[in-house]
Chain A
Amino acid sequence: MSAREEVLARLRAARDVGGSTVPDVPRDYHRTGVHAPGSAAAVERLTETLTDYRATVHRVGDLDGVPAAIAAVLAGSSSVVAPPGLPGEWLGEVTATVRRDDPPLSVADLDRLDAVVTGAAVAIADTGTFVLDALAPDQGRRAISLVPDHHVCVIRAADVVSSVPEALARLAPDGPLTFVSGPSATSDIELDRVEGVHGPRRLDVVLIVPPRA
């Protein structure tokens, strides 16, 4: 008998002995957040939670403000990588050398680059999190946002939700997803959080927040 058959047989027998009644799962937790998606309050809370975990937030009023904001945070960088579908105009004012990940750069190449600029699929205000979808052209494959030491992420207010359930409802797990909450950190020394380990040690978020109509 194969291991597969034996393990499944054991589990079936054990399950039947221990009980096979399927419980109803109560879903009376909040499935919508306290603030409406894209609302000023959601964006405000996201700013607080991102900042709390040592990301730096830069607000711009519209898409036209993005190039200057990105250029400003990349002022000290000499090279930057961008996913294939990142809008070219966003990098229009950057003085650093821009490398598109198309064709894909080697890991060694990525290691020589100072920074990466990506978009994001969704951001979660409650937790200070944004999610990168590797299948989205403006976010790109996972390695590009991992190896460079400085990550600049552009987030639109419309993509900001309050809660984790709202974010997951907007995401399809077809491709790799990376949930990012602040720069890399560890709690492994005396269970206190310190920032800066293997992932990017510097995290800048450019938030596009249109003035309220």
Chain B
Amino acid sequence: MTTDLGMPTVASDPHGHLRGTEPFPVAAHRALADTQLRQNLGHATRTIRAKRAAVVGEVDDWEELRRAGECVKADVMARLPELLEQLEASVTARGGVVHWARDAEEANRIVVGLVRETGSDEVVKVKSMATQETGLNEALGAAGIAALETDLAELIVQLSDDKPSHFLVPAIHRNRSEIRDIFLREMPDVDPDLTDEPRRLAMAARAHLRRKFLSARVGISGVNFAVADTGTISVVESEGNGRMCLTLPDTLITVMGVEKVVPTWSDLEVFLQLLPRSSTGERMNPYTSSWSGVTPGDGPQTFHLVLLDNGRSNVLASPDGRQALHCIRCSACLNVCPVYERTGGHAYGSIYPGPIGAVLSPQLTGIDGPDDVNASLPYASSLCGACFDACPVRIDIPHLLVQQRAAAVEAHGRPTAQDLAMRAAAAAMASPGRFSLTERVVKLGRLLSRSGRIRSVPGPGAAAWFGARDMPEPPAETFREWWGRRERS
């Protein structure tokens, strides 16, 4: 076997689901103007923040659990190849079949081939970020295989031909009455008197999917945790759609990003405490399923596990950046992010939105020159740090944002206007003499003042500030002038 490959370049291109088509500020402009979206997001994120705070407050060893979670994940990164080989051996020993995929296209090709072997032209799916990332549904569709999303929010997105905007609740941007309208329009057998009461909407989803579950021959899932030493796969969910997909079909195909492996079964004692409280703000989610390979007489008798790289090896090579692979997709950082709350997930372009998406997406794709829209993602944050405090595995997202900003700057081919401004500022700050000169220039700003305030300034960038904010006039005397005057007297 050859191992002297050196580092690969970006694993797969195009990264259609990891990269949008316009920079964040452009997409955010539209989202910010959508008042219904703003209200929906504000309501949902406020609700979940309160729920999360309440159930996290019940746990007096929360910080100890966070540190344990952080270190288990760091351990996984340090031993990732070996743990994956161990996982492969454990799953195989228990009757599963393990496949490896270099990139999204290869993963999709493997899954399409496996479904074709069953002769089925329909699959039921549990919500999975990995298969959103690979665009599996489109690949299945192109092969004549219908993929039915069964998670309620994913179903809403699929029925309305929309895109997911959140890890946990892909339809977080929709409110109850919009969901009702989508169901009335797109569900063939729906009760025409359907109201927008959430319980009635959930019942409508149950009725819509029931027959499909009971007759499904192939299920497709993602993974929350895969235990290397026992080959146990764990899927965390709420509605029971996961149990249906994992239990009733003859064939189960599970796609996982390689970083989802954990060393031992007992490591789940940490994550099964951290994840539900951070995610849905529940002490425990309604259903968590785990299985190891194939169990005679129970559940699918054919089990395939597809291990996906798709850029993860690039992320692993960064000593700090690899923390982004620690993410357990709880979405707490989205829910507390003041930027996400106002723009929603679509503005990020990638299927991984929010603070973690802003550091994960550009690392998975790499930043391809100054015009790469993913280079705008690390700047979609005020660096307020709320994400770190909420992160159940203590990913230092603010630090990673700064690091990815540095990566974005490094990708500038020729100097941009921002580069020139930053160089000028650095030069102005380089020595006390130059800084004093700068202060004298700043003082000229007093000429623009009316009643002590400046309401606009010519020049690029200024309009962005002065659109909504004034500036005080520069002082007649700087601090160092005052200090000097005092020293002399």
Contacts and interface: CB of A to CB of B under 8 A. Distances in A.
* B is a partner of A: yes
Interface in A1-24: 1-15, 17-24
A14 B284 contact: no
Given A26-B68, A143-B247, A187 B214 contact: no
Interface stretch (A60-68, A73-81, A170-178): A170-178
B295 A176 contact: yes
Contacts of A53: 282-283, 286
A96 interface: no
Interface of B: 1-3, 5-8, 11, 40, 43-45, 47-48, 51, 60-61, 64-65, 67-68, 71-72, 74-75, 77-81, 84-85, 99-102, 106, 150-153, 156, 168-169, 171-172, 175-176, 179, 198-199, 201-203, 205-206, 209-210, 213-214, 227, 230, 232, 238-241, 243-244, 246-248, 258, 265-266, 268-270, 272-273, 276, 280-292, 295, 297-299, 307, 309, 312-319, 321-322, 335
A192 B153 CA distance: 13
B282 A126 contact: no
A183 interface: yes
B176 A189 contact: yes
B103 to A, nearest CB: 9
A14 B174 CA distance: 40
Nearest to B216: A107
A86 interface: no
B286 A188 contact: no
A111 B40 CA distance: 37
Interface stretch (A36-44, A114-122, A194-202): A194-202
A98 interface: no
B238 A197 contact: yes
A104 B298 CA distance: 9
Which interface residue of B85, B244, B307, B314 has the most chain A CB atoms within 10 A? B244
- Sorted nearest first, the 8 A-B pairs with minimum C-beta distance are A199-B240, A198-B240, A127-B284, A197-B239, A10-B313, A14-B317, A188-B153, A179-B288
B473 to A, nearest CB: 46
Nearest to A140: B298
Given A13-B6, A142-B247, A193 B297 contact: no
B245 to A, nearest CB: 10
Contacts of B101: 3, 7
A180 B71 contact: no
B373 to A, nearest CB: 25
B171 A188 contact: yes
Contacts of B214: 107-108, 111, 147
Nearest to B241: A198
A97 interface: no
A51 B426 CA distance: 61
Contact of B284 (A21, A181, A200): A181
A17 B77 CA distance: 12
Given A15-B81, A108-B214, A180 B287 contact: yes
Contacts of A15: 77-81, 316-317
B1 A5 contact: yes
Nearest to A165: B269
A53 B326 CA distance: 30
A30 interface: yes
A5 B2 contact: yes
Nearest to B151: A188
